[in-house]
Chains A and B, each alone.
Chain A
Amino acid sequence: MRNLITFIWKNYFFFLFLLMEVLCVYLIVQNNYFQKASFINSSNAMSAKVLKTSADVEEYFFLKNENEKLARENAELRSRSMISFSMLVDDQYLVNDTAYRQKYNYTSCKVVNNSTNRRNNYLTLDKGSKQGVKNNMAVITSTGIVGQVKDVSENFCTVMSVLNSKTTISSKIKKDGSYGPLTWDGADFRYATLHDIPTHVRLVKGDTIVTSAYSLTFPEDIMIGTVKSFERKSGDYFYTVEVKLSTEFKKLSHVYIVTNILKQEQEELEKKSEIDSKD
């Protein structure tokens, strides 16, 4: 026993090194496999505050751009509101009944921290559990999708953006509804890759790609981007499509967090039928 202790004491430098590396690896693994709020990320109070101040200053430089975008969106919303529709048939009346109910709720957020040039990119937003943000909520902007909420603290949350090796988004081609997973290969923040599109689909450059209805997180028909090019590798039964993302990840400053109000209900039902089928 004493020999062991003297041995460790003699080589304390090596064992200390080993201990620290194990701690680091533990942190990395824990952060990757359990999607829970870990301490060391940019939503903790100290680093979030520094980043927020920095973003506040930065924001002034983009005010003009942001105003234009808001004005454009306002115009679009106005064109959709009832005031701008005229009644086509005189003998029909609008009845406010219970046939419709709200499924999605939107929360506006400011981007406090953002990156596009790493393999796994994350954003930090200034809304957290106090504002009702939860794990896995969708994040979109007026021009397209952004990502999914990963960790949540009291007043901040981090978002795994589309530009991340771990993000997969269920998407479809708008004109005929054939769907496949969308991933990012890490090459260029303007382009992502859509896999598994059957070859009988008549793809054309510029076709619109939107989110599919199969995702619990994203609402259906949110814009993702347009087809830039597509190819079929020899021996493959599917197209691999290069998609030009409609979201400008370099210019994000205000985004929306989407709450799916009916998500829990759907999840519980699906879980139940899964358990039933096992019996």
Chain B
Amino acid sequence: MLNEIIKNILRYIVLVGVQVLIIKNIELGRFINPFIYVLFIIGLPFETPKWVLLFSGFIIGITIDMFYDTAGMHAAACVFIAYLRPGILKLFSPRDGYEFGTQPTIQYLGVPWFLSYSAILILLHHLVLFYIEIFRFSEFFSTFFRVIISTISTLVLIVISQYLFNRKKDQE
């Protein structure tokens, strides 16, 4: 349990660092804004209590807000997907529920499961985030295009990171 908490705090620091120090400085044009830090919420263990889920979403969102000067926009999006996560997990659950001790990663539950689960969460996060940022309907379609492109780029980055850092659990 304690082990799990320390591991997730480390994940938090690494993901915020990667997002703020590296990805923020890579500018791939106006439409591509990947937010890989969403992986923190996606990858929290299945047994996480619901209120911890909300609070960790809020904290990582506020941290990102501090660096992006957006005051609450990322936090709002993160709390939103943290709230929807239990429902989406239930929607995609295998016939006899999730095994105890497994984690929401490609290695435990396979590529199709992980892709659909994380794609939905990322899409919802980006939808909320970009529309709060714009806050008007006049740029509806260009924002929608931006959401789609950014979702794809975030998803690609998250899948790559899964293969890079979680490999050793295969042999366990």
Contacts and interface: CB of A to CB of B under 8 A. Distances in A.
Tell me if chain B binds chain A: yes
Interface stretch (A44-52, A224-232, A257-265): A44-52
A146 to B, nearest CB: 15
A179 interface: no
Contacts, number: 99
Which of A51, A115, A117 has the most CB atoms of chain B within a 10 A radius of its CB? A117
Given A21-B80, A116-B27, A42 B133 contact: no
A87 B11 CA distance: 70
A20 B79 contact: yes
29 contacts: A13-B50, A13-B83, A13-B86, A17-B79, A17-B82, A20-B54, A20-B79, A24-B72, A24-B76, A28-B70, A28-B132, A31-B71, A31-B72, A38-B71, A40-B65, A40-B72, A42-B66, A42-B67, A42-B68, A51-B20, A54-B21, A54-B25, A113-B67, A115-B68, A117-B27, A117-B28, A117-B29, A117-B33, A188-B30
Interface of B: 20-21, 24-25, 27-30, 33, 50-51, 54, 58, 61-62, 65-73, 75-76, 79-80, 82-83, 86, 132-134, 139, 142
Nearest to A17: B83
Interface string A1-39: 000000000001110110011011111101100000010
By secondary structure, the B interface counts as: helix
Given A16-B51, A27-B65, A42-B68, 8 more contacts: A13-B86, A24-B72, A40-B65, A46-B66, A116-B27, A117-B27, A119-B133, A119-B134
A267 B82 CA distance: 48
B66 A28 contact: no
Contact of A51 (B28, B67, B70, B139): B67
Which of B28, B30, B72 has the most CB atoms of chain A within a 10 A radius of its CB? B72
Contacts of A27: 65, 71-72, 75
Contact of A24 (B20, B66, B67, B79): B79
Nearest to B134: A119
Interface residues of A, number: 41
Contacts of B25: 54, 58
Contacts of B72: 23-28, 31, 40
B142 to A, nearest CB: 8
B62 A40 contact: yes
Interface of A: 12-14, 16-17, 20-21, 23-28, 30-31, 38, 40-42, 44, 46-47, 50-51, 54, 58, 113, 115-120, 122, 124, 158, 186-189, 250
Contacts of A115: 24, 27, 68
Given A41-B66, A47-B67, A186-B139, A20 B58 contact: yes
